[in-house]
Amino acid sequence: MSEPYYITTPIYYVNDAPHIGHAYTTLACDVLARFKRLDGYDVKFLTGTDEHGQKVEKSAQTAGIDPQAFTDRVSQNFRDLADFMNFSHDDFIRTTEERHKVACQDIWRRLIDAGDIYLSAYAGWYAVRDEAFYGEDELTTGADGKKTAPSGAEVEWVEEPSYFFKLSAWEDRLLKFYDDNPNFILPKTRRNEVTSFVKGGLQDLSVSRTTFNWGVPVPGDDDHIMYVWLDALTNYITAVGYPETESVEYARYWPADLHMVGKDILRFHAVYWPAFLMAAGLEAPKRVFAHGWWTNEGQKISKSVGNIIDPIDLVNTYGLDQVRYFLLREVPFGNDGDFSQRAMVNRMNGELANDYGNLAQRVLSMINKNCEARVPEPGAFTADDEALLGQARGLLADIRTKIDVQSFHEVLEAIWVVIRAANGYVDAQAPWKLKKEDPPRMATVLYVLGETIRQLAVLTQPFMPQTSNVLLDQLSQGADQRDFAAAGPDAQPLESGLELPKPEGAFPRFVEEEGG
């Protein structure tokens, strides 16, 4: 049986329309899920929506509808975006589902039984936007006297009875856990931030609220609802069948291989979540990767500035695979990045249309015209031929190691090294000249190129599924010739004599509108 791989996105707050940040987190997971499936893993890819809490309740009030009807509507927008972006999730969880309520109440009981939850009262600052509690020392006071959290969110003073989780008791065990699992938090710089935060001392965490009721009721105390982050984090185990820890699904997929998150929510995933799980007697996930944030033409993206990037507009302007490629190529994954029209167009025209698109188009047209539209029969390979074929066949092993540390930009860079080498080879070998001078050599050169493009098209599928499929169609590859067993040194190479369809361009150029 194939090895399991369980990957999750954060679940998105349904307070607002989806934007580029949401699409980015899920895209990264989609590429990993597709990569692992093609590489023979049994993948479970989870995404969904975070529907409880004060922030969502307030948004529903503002919209003038009841929270359930509101969340039904907004959650659907996230599902629609996922379909539009060609995301391949296997499950979409909503925290208002019954299966999730059961899971939340069960983990609560385990925490009570373990003696890690006690009843007291909270008096302190709370930011509804972050759904987070803050200490006085973390806040900044503005000229208007208003206090804000480090995220820029406004805080309010809250005083209410509350259950607390004994987070303070978990400091040493968390630090030991990070030590024992050096790749639990990636990138490394984030890991250092988290460990110094924990070393700085942890305070017990308020895990229930009483001043509103849009949430999962605390078992045995109806005055309280569970803190939205305890509720939300639990989604990752609900989706694999928790509380049935003996179930096949749970045994197979838990602990998760990877929780992908933005840097803003790392603390919840790398500190609170493993502490909750360990306290409940459950295993912690294997890795949390925190990616960076996008700005828009150098500016922080925010509703008040009015510079939100709608992923649907972006795709309608540049094309789906172009946007998917750009987002993972432009920025070293983990760093912050800036979206600009110019960078988008440069990559789309330069790397996709010119480098990759022209390579495929030139080679396939020459085969179509000069080889009766069939894969040519190669003669003996020269050192140059072997060099290019060797580079192409070596790619899979190389990019596997890069994918395993979520280094998407390096994977794409490695693929482009081969694309550029193939273009150099076309120029050096000049097959159009060989047509008259040495037709058997032309056949060999076009074969080497055809085989290289086949390898490339197999390996670009996780990033650009549609376009890669167009290329594989043009190479007459069947459905069973598209997974990663078809790439690498042991693969079945392109079959001579195979009939190829008439080539069509797969990577359009972006043409600036006049005056635009």
**Residues contributing to the site for ligand MSP (CB under 6 A):** 10-13, 21-22, 24-25, 50, 232-233, 235, 261-262, 264-265, 293-294, 301
Among the listed residues 107, 312, 320, 145, the one whose alpha carbon sits nearest the alpha carbon of residue 230 = 107
Closest distance between ligand MSP and the C-beta of residue 340, in Å? 14
Two tokens, residue 443: 């056949």
Closest distance between ligand MSP and the C-beta of residue 261, in Å? 5
Closest distance between ligand MSP and the C-beta of residue 14, in Å? 8
Q: Outline where 260-340 has alpha helix (H).
A: 266-267, 273-279, 311-318, 320-329
Q: Name the 3-class secondary structure at 373.
A: coil
107 versus 449: smaller Cβ distance to ligand MSP: 107
Closest distance between ligand MSP and the C-beta of residue 478, in Å? 38
Sheet holding 299-300, edge to edge: 299-300, 294-296, 337-339
Residue with tokens 């017990």: 204
Alpha-carbon gap, residue 48 to 200, rounded angstroms = 33
161 versus 262: smaller Cβ distance to ligand MSP: 262
Closest distance between ligand MSP and the C-beta of residue 225, in Å? 16
Which residues are registered as beta bridge partners of 141? 147
Closest distance between ligand MSP and the C-beta of residue 238, in Å? 11
Angle at the Cα of 331 (from 327 to 333), degrees rounded to 5? 90
Alpha-carbon gap, residue 35 to 43, rounded angstroms = 10
Closest distance between ligand MSP and the C-beta of residue 268, in Å? 7
232 versus 412: smaller Cβ distance to ligand MSP: 232
325 versus 447: smaller Cβ distance to ligand MSP: 325
Do the bridges between strand 42-50 and strand 294-296 make them parallel or antiparallel, or are there none, so unpaired? Answer: unpaired
For helices 383-403 and 408-429, angle between their N-to-C axes, nearest 10 degrees? 170
Two tokens, residue 165: 């989780």
Query: Are 279 and 116 a contacting pair, CB within 8 Å?
Result: yes
236 versus 356: smaller Cβ distance to ligand MSP: 236
Residue with tokens 């989706």: 239
170 versus 339: smaller Cβ distance to ligand MSP: 339
Closest distance between ligand MSP and the C-beta of residue 109, in Å? 20
Q: Which amino acid is at 256?
A: A
Buried b (16+ CB within 10 A) or exposed e, 352-378: bbebbbbbbbbbbebbbebbeeebbeb
SS3 content of the chain, % helix, strand, coil (to 5): 50, 15, 35
Closest distance between ligand MSP and the C-beta of residue 418, in Å? 30
90 versus 264: smaller Cβ distance to ligand MSP: 264
The DSSP letter of residue 316 is H
226 versus 389: smaller Cβ distance to ligand MSP: 226
Q: Which amino acid is at 171?
A: E
Two tokens, residue 246: 């003996």
Two tokens, residue 37: 């499936």
25 versus 406: smaller Cβ distance to ligand MSP: 25
Residues in the chain: 516
Residue nearest to ligand MSP (CB): 262
Among the listed residues 35, 144, 49, 18, the one whose alpha carbon sits nearest the alpha carbon of residue 88 = 35
Do the bridges between strand 294-296 and strand 288-291 make them parallel or antiparallel, or are there none, so unpaired? Answer: unpaired
Closest distance between ligand MSP and the C-beta of residue 12, in Å? 4
18 versus 376: smaller Cβ distance to ligand MSP: 18
**C-alpha 309 chain-centroid distance:** 18
Two tokens, residue 16: 């607002």
Closest distance between ligand MSP and the C-beta of residue 459, in Å? 26
2 versus 189: smaller Cβ distance to ligand MSP: 189
Closest distance between ligand MSP and the C-beta of residue 432, in Å? 46
Q: Name the 3-class secondary structure at 153.
A: coil
22 versus 209: smaller Cβ distance to ligand MSP: 22
